[in-house]
Amino acid sequence: GVMEKLGLGPEVLLEENPRLIYARLTGFGQTGKYAKSAGHDINFLALSGVLSKLGRKDENPYAPLNLLADFAGGGVLCAMGIIIALYERTRSGKGQIIDASMVEGTAYLSSFLWKSQNLGLWNRPRGENLLDSGAPFYETYRTSDGKYMAVGAIEPQFYEQLIKGLGLDSDKLPSQLSFSDWPRMKKMFASIFAQKTQEEWCSIFDGADACVTPVLSFDDAASHQHNKQRGSFIKNDQEEISPRPAPLLSRTPAVPSFKRDPFIGEHTEEILLEYGFSKEEIAKLHSENVIEFSKPKANL
């Protein structure tokens, strides 16, 4: 309802321009009991059902930062909705309103979890399943230097390479999918990983199809050989590191800017002047807290 208060709701703007695509990204959506309620990523995750699946055995559910609802179920799926609406407009010539709910976006993103419940992947309590830290071959392990290795050796051929790299004999171990042996196997794997540094484990598993990789910090990720070879991270003119735009397009790849990110409100006045607003109109909008200014101070 915020845009309606400003007189900029979709009905007003679509009447002026029927081709307009108007995206509304909210936590709970435009209708329903919680439509006007406050919330954050963790609340949207909770209502979607996904939060109940996240966490280790005998621990509370936990939210993975604010990536799932805000950015994945929210921003990415809203952007997809815009692309779909743009494509549809090439046929109908008409715009439309996109009701992007972070709850529904996150739930839809988790369709695999819903549709695979009867496949034996998620029929055990939280933290005891294949991909939620229950399996010893899909887990993170601490190394002797306090770092971690990530293990994702699901397929038998990858699991065999994992066992070989750990110096174990698969003939003397329980079956890979023996659920009752998973806790004991996790302890065994943990004790072995704790005997070497992360770098030593990398030298063992690099080049082997064991699905074992180092858990990298932001700094280490930017400097890792694979990421450097692909140019996966870039530096701006302030020496700040960030991910390069993805995915890569072969014919029209994104050309990243190497300038620092603008401050909120830094270019508000310039943009509005460019669009034909007078200085008096801009001053009025600012005094009514409709827009925000934030001019960076010169370093003299």
Q: Determine the pLDDT at residue 64.
A: 95
**Preceding omega of 247 cis (within 30 degrees of 0):** yes
Give pairs for 20-23: CB < 8 Å, separation 24+. 20/95, 21/82, 21/85, 21/86, 21/89, 21/95, 21/96, 21/98, 22/95, 22/96, 22/97, 22/98, 23/78, 23/81, 23/82, 23/97, 23/98, 23/100
Instruction: List, for residues 13-47, the tens digit of each pLDDT value.
Output: 999 999 999 999 999 999 999 999 999 999 999 99
CA-based nearest residue to 137, from 207, 214, 196, 189: 189
Instruction: List, for residues 214-228, the tens digit of each pLDDT value.
Output: 999 999 999 999 999
Q: Determine the pLDDT at residue 226.
A: 97
Percent of the residues in the chain that have a pLDDT greater than 90, as a whole number: 88
Radius of gyration, CA atoms only, the chain: 25
How much is the mean pLDDT over the chain? 94
- Separation CA 129–CA 182 (nearest Å): 10
Instruction: List, for residues 138-196, the tens digit of each pLDDT value.
Output: 999 999 999 999 999 999 999 999 999 999 999 999 999 999 999 999 999 999 999 99
Question: Domains in the chain, ordered, with CATH?
Answer: 2-119 (3.40.50.10540), 143-215 (3.30.1540.10), 228-259 (no CATH), 261-299 (no CATH)
- Separation CA 69–CA 27 (nearest Å): 8
Q: Determine the pLDDT at residue 296.
A: 66
Q: Determine the pLDDT at residue 297.
A: 62
Instruction: List, for residues 125-137, the tens digit of each pLDDT value.
Output: 999 999 999 999 9
Instruction: List, for residues 92-121, the tens digit of each pLDDT value.
Output: 999 999 999 999 999 999 999 999 888 877
The DSSP-derived string for 269-288 is: HHHHHHTT--HHHHHHHHHT
Catalytic residues: 40, 70
pLDDT at 1 over 90: no
What are the two backbone dihedrals, phi and then psi, of residue 152, each rounded to the nearest 5 degrees? -140, 45
pLDDT class of 300 with cuts at 50, 70, 90: very low
Q: Determine the pLDDT at residue 197.
A: 98
